[in-house]
Amino acid sequence: MREYIGRAVRRLTGTRQATIDTIEPGSIMVAPRRPIDRFDVGAITEVLDLATKIGAVLLDSGTGAIDTSSQIRFVASIYGVEDVDVDVTYNTIVVVARRGATLPPITTMQTVHYRSLDFTRLAAVDRLVRRIRDSAITPSTAHRIVDQIIAAKHPYPYSVSTFAWGLMASGISVLLGGDVVVALLAWVTTVVTVTFNRRLNRIGTPIFFQQVAGGFIAVVPAALVYELGQKTGLEALSITPSQVIAAGIVVLLSGLSLVGSVQDAITGAPITGVARFFELLLMTGGIIAGVGIGLRLMSSVGIYLPTITTSTEFAPVDVPIRVAAGAVAAFAFALASYAERRALPIAFLGGLIGAGVASITVFLPVGDVIAGGLAATCVGLVGGLLARRALVPPLVVAIAGITPLLPGLAVYRALYGVLNDQTLTGLTWMAAALGVGCALAAGVTLGEFVARTLRRPRLPVAPDWARRRREARAARRRW
């Protein structure tokens, strides 16, 4: 049995390492090229420009500032430019190559224009860095490859991504206790939201107002269906609007850099972390404004949503359904973010782990913050090991795994309390939502750190007395 367990663990973790693991000090697998002549300005500039482009794609995909800096230095050192300084801020990358005390340094800068999440682009750059490490391809070839990666279209059509966003909302609504009608309504609402926001983005509408529109759309269909069910008495339309609205809020929150902001603050990039976190708060404020406008509009026409209970309870028999819903939501988020096909099963397992741990801890007296932190730590650890096994960037699994656990219902409860003269209750729920979000990001960062330091775990060797006892029992069974 011990042999089979050890074999399973080895298959799970394997011997593969993530790209970021292999570029840590002392872990470069190939010797760097001969240093470039410090008088060759063109060659140094070409290498710095390549490293900066790679760093821009990483930062755009949500990679932390420290990891981005490490990979930029690694690419430069592979091509022989070793004395470099890298400064990564919120949306700017500056790389400086020093050429001694008598020559001026060479500087390149890249401004990062954040676009929609595309995990395929992140995986392609990850493979390019591996190719640079293993094959030491020429800078001109690497330039051509990275330009193709940046200019490439999404691997899936918009219709597939839109359907996946709706599927993610359906999974989250079921995770919150909804039925088939709630899941269908969440799907329709999210598809409308994504389609409308995509059109707003094409005409250059700021992201804040896109979040306002998304929060507004999340409220109106749920309120109308709820009012229709109350007037007609149809049991099928007797839904819980908060489940639909919370699912829409989670979808709007999912694309924000929660993990990256907290990871930057923890790992030593506080300026970038604060900037990302402020953007996160601003975008969350847009969602709150949209939801608030929707609630006020509905109340002005005589549609009042039901009072929200202080807790969401469910029976132990519902745990498998909730866990499956969380896994589907993580899978759908990865698909909506254009992850590669081989990353989708890993994202599914990450969501399965996160939702499973979160569902079990509900029955323990640990609280939502600790429960979210434990679930995220397990996602970061196990998901990180699985990602290394499949040669998938661990960031894909981390973000997809914790997305179903985002505190969308807590945000809605906070806003509902503030709008209904329950200011203390609203502020309490807002603090709870903030605490859960930070716990998720910190937990997945911790799990990823452990996975990064874990290479190939071995089961402890049994003591001699235990081995002799097993041999004696086996001999008695033979006799």
Q: What is the pLDDT of residues 280-303, one digit of tens each?
A: 888 888 888 888 888 888 888 888
CA 63, 65, 67, 72 torsion-angle sign: positive
Q: 51-55, 236-240, 439-443, 467-471: lowest mean pLDDT where?
A: 467-471
| 317 and 409 assigned to the same domain | yes
| 103 and 175 assigned to the same domain | no
| 121 and 263 assigned to the same domain | no
| 69 and 193 assigned to the same domain | no
pLDDT band with cut points at 50, 70 and 90 for residue 137: confident
Do 411 and 433 contact (CB within 8 A), yes or no? yes
- Write down the pLDDT at residue 115: 64
H helix and E strand count, the chain: 19, 3
Q: Which domain holds residue 100?
A: 32-151
| 371 and 236 assigned to the same domain | yes
Does residue 3 fall inside a structural domain?
no
How many CB atoms neighbour CB 96 within 10 A?
Answer: 15
| 93 and 170 assigned to the same domain | no
| 220 and 246 assigned to the same domain | yes
| 197 and 55 assigned to the same domain | no
Does residue 17 fall inside a structural domain?
no
| 146 and 165 assigned to the same domain | no
Q: How many folded domains does the chain comprise?
A: 2
| 163 and 47 assigned to the same domain | no
Do 71 and 55 contact (CB within 8 A), yes or no? yes
Q: Which residue has the higher pLDDT, 135 or 439?
A: 439
Q: Say if residue 126's pLDDT is above 50.
A: yes
Q: Tens digits of per-residue pLDDT, 153-168?
A: 888 888 898 999 999 9
Does residue 95 fall inside a structural domain?
yes
| 237 and 344 assigned to the same domain | yes
Does residue 327 fall inside a structural domain?
yes
Q: Say if residue 110's pLDDT is above 80.
A: yes
Nearest CA to 38 among 87, 137, 136, 106?
106
